Amino acid sequence: MKVKNIIAVAAVGFMLTGCGIYNKYEQKTPTPADAFGSDQSIQTASGESTIAQMSWREFFTDPLLQQLIEEALANNTDLNSARIAVEKSQAALTAAKLAYLPSLALAPQGTLAKFDDNPWSKTYNLPLQLSMDVDVFGSITNKKRAAKAVLLQAQMRQEAVRSNLISVTAQHYMMLQVLDRQLEILMQTDSLWNESLMTEQTLWENGKAYSTAVNQMEASYLNVKTQILDTRRNIRTVENALCKLLAVAPRHIERQAWGSSMLHHAEAKGDAEERMFTTKYLKIGVPAQMLENRPDIRMANHAMEEAFYNTAAARSAFYPSITLNGSAGWTNSAGGMVVDPGKILLSAIGTLTQPIFARGKLIANKKIAKLTEEDLQKKYVQMVINAGNEVNEAMADCMMARDKHLFYKRQVQVLHEAYTGTHELMDNGKASYIEVLRAQESLLDAQLSSAMNMYKGAEAVIALYVALGGGTK
């Protein structure tokens, strides 16, 4: 008899395992091995570390920027909402774990009854009721595991919000720095062009220039004045946007000058801008590291895990549910008579409920769960492809900013020489005001474009850092 019991238990266990209602989730969805693309310029050796492993305090070395990031992490509303979502999920997981335990309830009852001319009868019950679901077919276990997967998703979502917040705060800060640099260029240009205007007016007064030359010079000079106003307004706009991230009222944002504290590349040599743009110091590692670091990809993986356990729970719904109920307490109601004082009453009931026909709900729930699982698997692969694309794009932007930086540096140098030479020629009556205007405007455009290219390079480096999963620690 004992052998038969063992065989029966083993058969039931094998059946339940084969049906998958107790299996644990394993990530088996295939992902592209070349997620970063086939461009040899961004491929690195397997096992190489990645910049994403640096904490944001190591990556962003500017102390004023670090203070802003800390303030954003402490005050930002979106990050606070993500934290609350994690706490909600933790509470739900705790409830799912406690589902294994019996529930207890005190349900006292009292009754007054009178029939015809008989005296009032008073009955009471003071029972402590117990109810417990026996998790033979994995329903509670799968719901608990799904709840844990939901918690992990909430935690990854919090990390994603944190990483994005750090990135946007740094981008705004660096935009303020480059706007300060552009304003500095415009103020210097304002002074220089004022001198050119004074020179042209002197030539006109001495009959060596036409009034049209003075008018053209003045119009160009006034255009610089309007650009100064536009730049100051843009600074105010970015400061206000940064204050919204910090969840504070509009205020002036303290910042260092551009280039005083650049992004951290310890091994690089040369000036600050070259340290930032040199892509050989931007270690990207291998795609597998990105899958481990990026919170959105890990969140997608936990979403597949939740769907897996929801499917298992949908399978469990086809099996019987076993519930144990019992009560113990005092009562003076003994069937058809009343006793006084009351006596202890004990009762126990076991219930097995086997679904037979549920109007197609169980089949539909299982099909929906399976389709959800399939959908999330495809979305996971697409998310990996999108992440690899972001890395590829960020590296391409870094390389473009590096190459442009060298050209802009030389362009500003030669245009400054051309402006100086042309101005001297005009002073000696050997060049026209049009040549001076062209030289002035070309130099200003190159200087402003060079400053903006520096920001785009910094933006690309930050995008690469986040695309690889940086900013989560």
As a whole number of angstroms, the distance between CA 291 and CA 423 comes to 58
Phi/psi for 327 (5° steps) reads -150, 150
Structure tokens at 40: 């040899």
- Give the pLDDT band of residue 53 (cuts 50, 70, 90): confident
Tallying the residues shown for the chain, one arrives at 473
- Give the pLDDT band of residue 336 (cuts 50, 70, 90): low
pLDDT > 80? residue 275:
no
Q: What is the mean pLDDT of the chain?
A: 82
pLDDT, one tens digit per residue, over 413-449 is: 998 888 788 777 766 666 666 777 788 888 889 999 9
- Residue 471, Ramachandran bin (φ over 0: left; ψ between -120 and 50: alpha; else beta): left
Return the CATH number of the domain spanning residue range 2-85+164-317+361-467.
1.20.1600.10
**Segment 204-231 mean pLDDT:** 82
As a whole number of angstroms, the distance between CA 401 and CA 409 comes to 12
Structure tokens at 277: 């743009």
More confidently predicted of 191 and 263: 191
**Segment 190-209 mean pLDDT:** 75
**Segment 100-116 mean pLDDT:** 81
pLDDT, one tens digit per residue, over 87-100 is: 999 999 998 888 88
Proportion of the chain above pLDDT 90, given as a percent = 30
Of 278, 280, 283, 304, give the one whose Cα is nearest residue 293.
283
**Segment 80-107 mean pLDDT:** 89
As a whole number of angstroms, the distance between CA 369 and CA 365 comes to 6
pLDDT at position 364 is 92
